[in-house]
Structure 1
């Protein structure tokens, strides 16, 4: 195959009647076969071609994760056009920038609210000829048409297969704009060949089979979600799709999937909810949970060292599994073979807890610029704290300054319209990731931190903030986000936000205020956070310990600007918003 649409065509030919996708409907789930998906994509593609999609054009896709996102993406690609992805949480101004910078001439929007967003900046979008709305109303002026009307617009004489056959393997498939933790987003140009390589590399690992059931909720606007779309077509894995975050737990229990990928924040949330619940219940349940956790971690650490597990420990672990861990697995449907974590660093403490429960998380690593997937732990050789060895066909080098450099077919074509930035990122034929890392004797990569985000204290010591942040979150079930600060300062400090969904039941049971503003300064709340910080500090060098912290009343969020859509902290935004609080840490000596 030479393109994603030809990959889909091959999948339909191989397993036409197998289940492709499952979507929520009327309290249940509705399935579609690969044959049915292929027919819908064909009709939509012909309709899009009739309104101007085709080779050398871009179509912007502004929607949450749902089946129609995938159908629209595949239809756009089938015309020879490229998909420009936009997060539904983007503002009108942010959306306008992506649309104009990419040169998109058609926008596919999820609903009337998203259309209104585009309408509000219509004067800035002179090249947009049509807006296609998935769930919404067409406009009287013909600028907005309905998604389900596209099949009726198609030219019956146009040859769909000829359109697909004409797509070059090195042709542009996707423009994904980086989330911009440190400045203006750049459009990453990814070709059909980039995606075909990553899909084929994952298939070659043999970790996933058509017998699996994949649950997809991740943003498809993100490169991680897009990679999963291609992988599942390549292997022929049925995928249940529902992008509603508040339905993840319910869907896991109902669908009983075998695979799910997520950002670390989801695993942190699950861990913290479980831990806080048993703490609140106290008594015998807490003692059993604490014992089971300690027993499970002993087993995990022994396995990681390759050490033999004594017979008595195996018996204790079997009992711990029956009393605690089996119930936790049942919450996820009882069939999970493993989770996959990406998009941000996963705390080793969190990974070990899940592994103890028989819910192994395979952490991977990649950038948008490397088609999302470059490294992945393998189940038989998983090493927590690493992101595993490279995918087959991916090369890695560590530069003299510790920067991770990646080579291979998954590397982007370049940044859209930014030749100087492209030349800098792809210097000497390697993708310069901006991440600091090291490779062990087994070829597994460990990412220590972002090159630009390493803290250098005034004493000249380097500190990895995301590592400390992950450890504090793992130690404190009530923490939602942690931001460690200290660049060019004489010690490290932290801002900590509360996960009120987890905190509120505990606060109510303790007779504490339920309002975040009142609660954050309460001695009991500070005591809980202080205990976690002290626990982490005890295992760190003095220069890497957090000397002071503040609990914030408001959590970081995408909407308020402190998080990217993939839930990574925008460090500059936090430093700007909370500059006075951070400066105040250093008014008095620690």
Structure 2
């Protein structure tokens, strides 16, 4: 059969059923949801929604009923998604960490009738604003909690004619119908509802799926832990569905390590921040070694940093093989032993990490796209000829790209959204003559590999009228293992500065080796030798940039930026405006001429 809707995956799955299509831990034990069980639950929920009066209405996006889903990744998430799809309604998935005010705004805008949540906290959050949402009739929870209806209460055994009724309705669903409205978290401004059709996502699924076809059928297992309401993880999930993968869901972000060792997946998706955290733990463990073991560990890191996709000298290959046997093989065991590739998206991956993981035979496949493009525009592939460090890979099949005169990446194809929900003006701003304006600046390296050089809206101008692109500076300097996070600033200022969060995983062992007493992060940031260390790091990088781009001052910060503390989006992007506001005092000190306790005047060595 030729799939034209996302839920067509069910017919393909039925032809080759498996015992564990979806898997999750319940009360500490892995529970396997077979293909048959998943499909039965999908159909029962579809019938329950129809009996509640949910319908495709007049067939327009506005007329179709909306169902909201606010939950961590779990089998029930996909079951709800498929059930909503096949009766022609529209799913509105939201981030679990969204605040109540934002949820109220989105649920009202989309006139959601029912909300499915994963537990007490989310049920309470929606209950708090329910009275302000006239369209909302009921909240259902996947977990059994007091004062909230359980989703299984909706389900009843299928009766004669139910499947035929569902099929009659699903046959009316067309490829161009909107299947989901995904509200972007955004680094600034109010969330926008991106309308994606079955065709948008499915074409991206099929073209992206070509990247995974080399994986043997018997090894097609994946672990999922990124938010499913983000199009990156949702689209990858449908790749798994259409290409015969078994999916297991991590219990939480804190249990990814143990879950990897239990599931032993071949592949998983991640954001660069997670890779950074994994590498921090690797370095932390290595720094605790002593004697020859520590020397071998540090030598293996240096070998990995030299890795090139298309090979090096025979002597390097010998060193790589030795490092693999002594060190890298242990890394692979720590993530289950079977992981061959990690698909990475959301923000730029440091080249150093790409090299280190790939050298360890865990190939990093970095891709690029936006919610508005379903999302993949380009992606590095497992085949060495289709990969290049520092780029986001070759263009995806059937996706067109051209670079505008100002360097902006423009995209055209079936993957481009139907528009922003209830916002035709903003839609017209970003889609012109059929081309979606990504807002990112880039180039085609070797005419083949897409390279992102900056975010158009993040490029700033100094008071001297010179333009500075912060992303390349940040990405380059974060290659140093002492720099955890970094934001380059300087809009309408005389010179460029930066806010830096040190990598305490690497800094603390250095302090110990240099007899610097650790009494707390705040005090450490004021230590003259620590300041001198970062002074030297920045000074060493500065000659790689032109004079106006060189970082003249830095402020060292004691607290890591995170989603929970508000500086990062749920997908790990910096909220630059939030960071600027939060650290305004430190920024003012950088430009006041004061010799602040944790600011450094950088002295760049001569070229």
The alignment's TM-score, normalised by the length of structure 2, stands at 0.90
CA distance in 1, matches of 2:31, 2:505: 31
Superposed displacement of residue 544, structure 1: 2.3
CA distance in 2, matches of 1:351, 1:162: 49
The one of 294, 300, 308 aligned to 2:302: 294
Q: Secondary structure at the match of 1:135?
A: coil
Please say if 1:201 is aligned against 2:203: no
The one of 415, 433, 436 aligned to 2:441: 436
Match of 2:194 in 1: 188
Match of 1:5 in 2: 7
Please say if 1:173 is aligned against 2:179: yes
Q: Secondary structure at the match of 1:190?
A: strand
Q: Work out whether residues 11 and 34 of structure 1, in 8 Å CA contact, stay in contact via their aligned partners in 2.
A: no
Alignment of 1:240-389 (within 5 A): 240-242=248-250, 244-281=252-289, 283-298=291-306, 300-301=307-308, 303=309, 306=310, 309-379=312-382, 380-381=384-385, 382-389=387-394
CA distance in 2, matches of 1:77, 1:552: 46
Match of 2:46 in 1: 45
CA distance in 1, matches of 2:337, 2:519: 34
Q: Secondary structure at the match of 1:352?
A: helix
Equivalenced residues, count: 579
Superposed displacement of residue 109, structure 1: 1.3
Q: Secondary structure at the match of 1:168?
A: coil
CA distance in 2, matches of 1:462, 1:30: 55
Q: Work out whether residues 434 and 451 of structure 1, in 8 Å CA contact, stay in contact via their aligned partners in 2.
A: yes
Q: Secondary structure at the match of 2:242?
A: helix
The one of 170, 190, 197 aligned to 1:164: 170
User: CA separation of 1:341/1:155 partners in 2, compared to 1, >3 Å: closer, same or farther?
Assistant: same
Match of 2:585 in 1: 580
Superposed displacement of residue 89, structure 1: 0.4
Match of 2:138 in 1: 130
Match of 1:146 in 2: 150
Alignment of 1:561-572 (within 5 A): 561-572=566-577
Question: What residue ranges of structure 1 are gaps of 5+ in the alignment?
Answer: none
CA distance in 2, matches of 1:422, 1:155: 44
Please say if 1:455 is aligned against 2:460: yes
Match of 2:450 in 1: 445
Listed one character per residue, the Cα deviations across residues 73-98 of structure 1 (whole Å, up to 9, x for unaligned) are 11121221111111110111011111
Superposed displacement of residue 527, structure 1: 4.6
Superposed displacement of residue 122, structure 1: 1.8
Superposed displacement of residue 403, structure 1: 0.3
User: CA separation of 1:227/1:581 partners in 2, compared to 1, >3 Å: closer, same or farther?
Assistant: same
Q: Secondary structure at the match of 1:239?
A: strand
Q: Work out whether residues 46 and 84 of structure 2, in 8 Å CA contact, stay in contact via their aligned partners in 1.
A: yes
User: Is the deviation greater in 459-468 or in 504-513?
Assistant: 504-513
Q: Work out whether residues 2 and 167 of structure 1, in 8 Å CA contact, stay in contact via their aligned partners in 2.
A: no
Q: Work out whether residues 439 and 445 of structure 1, in 8 Å CA contact, stay in contact via their aligned partners in 2.
A: yes
Match of 2:598 in 1: none
Match of 2:245 in 1: 237
Q: Secondary structure at the match of 2:479?
A: helix
The alignment's TM-score, normalised by the length of structure 1, stands at 0.92
User: CA separation of 1:188/1:544 partners in 2, compared to 1, >3 Å: closer, same or farther?
Assistant: same
Superposed displacement of residue 498, structure 1: 4.7
Q: Work out whether residues 21 and 67 of structure 1, in 8 Å CA contact, stay in contact via their aligned partners in 2.
A: yes
Listed one character per residue, the Cα deviations across residues 149-194 of structure 1 (whole Å, up to 9, x for unaligned) are 1213987654222232221211111111111212111100001111
Q: Work out whether residues 50 and 153 of structure 1, in 8 Å CA contact, stay in contact via their aligned partners in 2.
A: no
User: CA separation of 1:542/1:352 partners in 2, compared to 1, >3 Å: closer, same or farther?
Assistant: farther
Superposed displacement of residue 450, structure 1: 0.4
Please say if 1:542 is aligned against 2:550: no
Q: Secondary structure at the match of 1:432?
A: strand
CA distance in 2, matches of 1:577, 1:318: 47
CA distance in 2, matches of 1:282, 1:530: 29
Listed one character per residue, the Cα deviations across residues 259-291 of structure 1 (whole Å, up to 9, x for unaligned) are 011000011112233234434546433432332
Q: Work out whether residues 5 and 78 of structure 1, in 8 Å CA contact, stay in contact via their aligned partners in 2.
A: yes
Q: Work out whether residues 68 and 116 of structure 2, in 8 Å CA contact, stay in contact via their aligned partners in 1.
A: yes
User: Is the deviation greater in 446-455 or in 12-21?
Assistant: 12-21
CA distance in 1, matches of 2:303, 2:276: 20
CA distance in 1, matches of 2:369, 2:241: 20
Across the aligned residues of Structure 1 and Structure 2, the Cα RMSD in angstroms comes to 2.4
Please say if 1:466 is aligned against 2:457: no
Superposed displacement of residue 508, structure 1: 7.6
Match of 1:80 in 2: 88
Match of 2:517 in 1: 512
User: CA separation of 1:24/1:110 partners in 2, compared to 1, >3 Å: closer, same or farther?
Assistant: same
User: CA separation of 1:388/1:586 partners in 2, compared to 1, >3 Å: closer, same or farther?
Assistant: same
Q: Work out whether residues 68 and 94 of structure 2, in 8 Å CA contact, stay in contact via their aligned partners in 1.
A: yes
CA distance in 2, matches of 1:524, 1:147: 58
Q: Secondary structure at the match of 1:29?
A: strand
Match of 2:604 in 1: none
Q: Work out whether residues 521 and 558 of structure 2, in 8 Å CA contact, stay in contact via their aligned partners in 1.
A: yes
Superposed displacement of residue 540, structure 1: 3.2
Q: Secondary structure at the match of 1:13?
A: helix
Listed one character per residue, the Cα deviations across residues 530-571 of structure 1 (whole Å, up to 9, x for unaligned) are 454344335333332322222223322223322111111111
Superposed displacement of residue 145, structure 1: 2.3
Question: What residue ranges of structure 2 are gaps of 5+ in the alignment?
Answer: 57-63, 595-600, 602-607
User: CA separation of 1:92/1:428 partners in 2, compared to 1, >3 Å: closer, same or farther?
Assistant: same
